[in-house]
Structure 1
Amino acid sequence: MIEWLRTRIHKAYERQLVRAIDEPPAHVAVIQDGNRRYARKHGADASDGHREGVKTTQDVLEWCQTLGIEELTLYTFSTENFDRPQEQLDVIFDLAEEKLYDFADADRVHENEVSIRAIGDVPRLPERVQEAIDYAEERTEGYDEFVLNIALAYGGRETMLSAARDVVDAAATGEIDPAEIDVDTVADRLYDRRVRDVDLIVRTGGDQRTSNFLPWHANGNEAAVYFCAPYWPEFSRVDFLRGLRTYEHREESWRRTRARRGLALVRALGGVELAEARETIRRCRDALPAGERPADGEPPEVPESSDVAASSE
């Protein structure tokens, strides 16, 4: 009876979280941390923790598609991970190879038109993993309904440095005009195919850091960040929905900030046509929650800065 009641309460809370999501993020990036600690916690081998983590990966992919998220990036293996003992690396590489083939052949991937891509220093990976990557990318290259980026041998700084070198070389050879270098010039050289800006980073396992993950796309977009305690194999749909709620709160905060700044700017400007000014003020005021709308003639509060949303629920 107690377990039945607990399950009902959990499901009700989950439905409440879903209803609270007005507009999901387009791109979620996940740092899958805690596989080995999960294994130690249960007295198992590290390989068992990684295999349990793969089950969570499959669940998250399904949650994203159900909720309308368009792109998911999974931090699977960093450049720093090459320092691990060879026996651990062999397990990780074997599992990556196996699951890349499984994903590439899965009916659900093709039914939902999932495009699988690998980002990172792929040539550093064992040849068998590179072959699995090629197979998965070729099998799904014509799809664009959903993008699954798998970060393997990935390092954010190294990726940005490589792109910067490419830009310098292109400028030196006259391929591009240095005066015309812009954000798109760099973004086009980060990966073989463009990656959306990141809206939300989720990290499991309790650590509160982003570990050099997608710095161009996350920091540049001031992504929301959600840190949670469960190890990756324990990560639940409720945990995921809480992360999406963090993104919602961040978006609401930004909307309020922009509206307040707009009101302050219009009221500070001189020589603006009265009708145009009134219409702009009305739109800005309407963008604020009812309880936060300033009265006519009342100067709005203008925040000096806005922090990236973060939560440790």
Structure 2
Amino acid sequence: MLFRALSWLRAKATQRVERLLLYVLASGPIPQHVAFVMDGNRRYARLNHKAIAQGHSDGFLTLRRLLETCLRLHIRCVSVYAFAMDNFRRPPEEIDHLMHLAHDKLMEMSRHSDILEQYGVRLNVLGKTALLPEYVQEAIRHVEGVTRKNDRCALTAILNIHMSYSAQDEIATAVESTIQMALEDAESASDICITEKDIDAQLFTSLAASPPLEILVRTSGVKRLSDYMLWQCNENTQIHFVNAYWPDFSLWDFVPILLSYQRKAWGKQ
């Protein structure tokens, strides 16, 4: 009984400290778009003697907690790398679990009591979704449709979930769309003029009305981008590699990243 009481008091104290910390952080410059490469679910599972499927499930809980932290900080847009096109090469049983997990969690997030409704978040699933199972595509259409109604404030919050995604595919698709539009508008081939801005406007994130990417975080200690948002990572994007596996990533891992952003933002003033 005493142990439970002490655990309850410790949890309450931790919550108060976290709320105070978020309040202090929110008083400074806050990035408008943060992206996460959610890496390390499988290694986390092996380290903790869990099934790989449980590692992915624990990773979703981390996403939910971190999304709420970002929304409380008034970060307008959060993007996460959930499933790369290359992930289709993984064992069939793992892919099957990931697809069912995606379906179940997308449907869960479409409920009115969820965090998306509470904070007025619009959800977008970005990538070559036609490669996903039909039941996942149905869940995507449902949750995107439901969250289109979330427009409580002038600057609607955005959650981009990249699934069946590759940055190279995104860029190629954007170039193809840009050329097609230019051909339709031009009277002759000599009239065609394509700029970087034209291509940028056709990126998945641009079509989803996302602001420029300011911070990209990759967990698990791996120091590479793995074909994620390569175009969006420009000279103004801060890239951080964190040793924690994604299910272990917490506010205390995120705080140094935000403080680094704020120091650099204040340095530009």
If the length of structure 1 is used for normalisation, what is the TM-score?
Answer: 0.73
Q: Which residue, 202, 210, 226 being the options, matches 1:189?
A: 202
Instruction: Report deviation, 1:27.
Output: 0.6
Q: Residues 243 and 14 from structure 1, CA distance in 2 versus in 1: closer, same or farther, beyond 3 angstroms?
A: farther
Q: Distance in 1 between matches of 2:208 and 2:14?
A: 43
In structure 2, C-alpha distance between the alignment counterparts of 1:216 and 1:72, rounded to whole Å: 17
In the other structure, the counterpart of 1:242 is 256
Q: 1:96 aligns with which of 96, 102, 123?
A: 102
Which position in structure 2 is the counterpart of 1:206?
221
Distance verdict in 2 for CA 1:104–1:160, change over 3 Å: same
What is the distance in 2 between the residues matched to 1:117 and 1:231?
Answer: 25
Q: Which runs of 5+ in 1 are unaligned?
A: 256-286, 288-313
C-alpha separation in 1, matches of 2:18 and 2:209:
37
Q: Which residue of 2 aligns with 1:276?
A: none
- Contact 1:14/1:238 (8 A) holds in 2: no
Query: Using a 3 Å threshold, how does the CA distance of structure 1 residues 44 and 9 change in structure 2: closer, same or farther?
Result: closer
Contact 1:97 1:129 in 2 (8 A): yes
* Cα 1:16/1:130, change in 2 over 3 Å: closer
| 2:86 corresponding residue in structure 1 | 80
| 1:190 Cα offset (Å) | 1.7
Query: Match for 1:158 among 169, 173, 181?
Result: 169
CA distance in 1, matches of 2:48, 2:87: 23
Which among 55, 64, 67 is matched to residue 70 of structure 2? 64
Separation of aligned partners in 1, 2:109 and 2:175: 33
- More deviation, 27-36/137-146: 137-146
Q: Is the 8 A contact 2:33 2:210 kept in 1?
A: no
- Residues 149-298 of structure 1 correspond to what in structure 2 (within 5 A)? 149-175=160-186, 177-179=191-193, 181-191=194-204, 192-219=207-234, 222-253=236-267, 255=268, 287=269
- Structure 1's 152 and 65: CA in aligned 2 closer, same or farther, altered over 3 A? same
TM superposition shift of 1:225 = 1.4
- What is the CA distance between 1:159 and its match in structure 2? 0.4
Matching residue of 2:131: 124
CA shift, 1:188, in A, is: 2.7
| Counterpart residue identity of residue 231, structure 2 | W
Report sequence identity in percent.
29
**Residue matched to 2:44:** 38
Q: Secondary structure at the match of 2:231?
A: helix
Counterpart contact for 1:224–1:250, Cα < 8 Å: no
The CA distance in 2 between the partners of 1:146 and 1:17, in whole Å, is 18
The AA in structure 1 aligned to 2:24 is R
CA offset digits 1:141-183 (Å, max 9, x no partner) = 122421111000111111001111222233334459533x334
Which residue does 2:149 correspond to in 1?
142
Aligned alpha-carbon RMSD (Å): 2.7
Question: Unaligned regions of 5+ residues in structure 2, if any?
Answer: none
The answer on whether the counterparts of 1:26 and 1:69 sit within 8 Å (CA) in structure 2 is yes
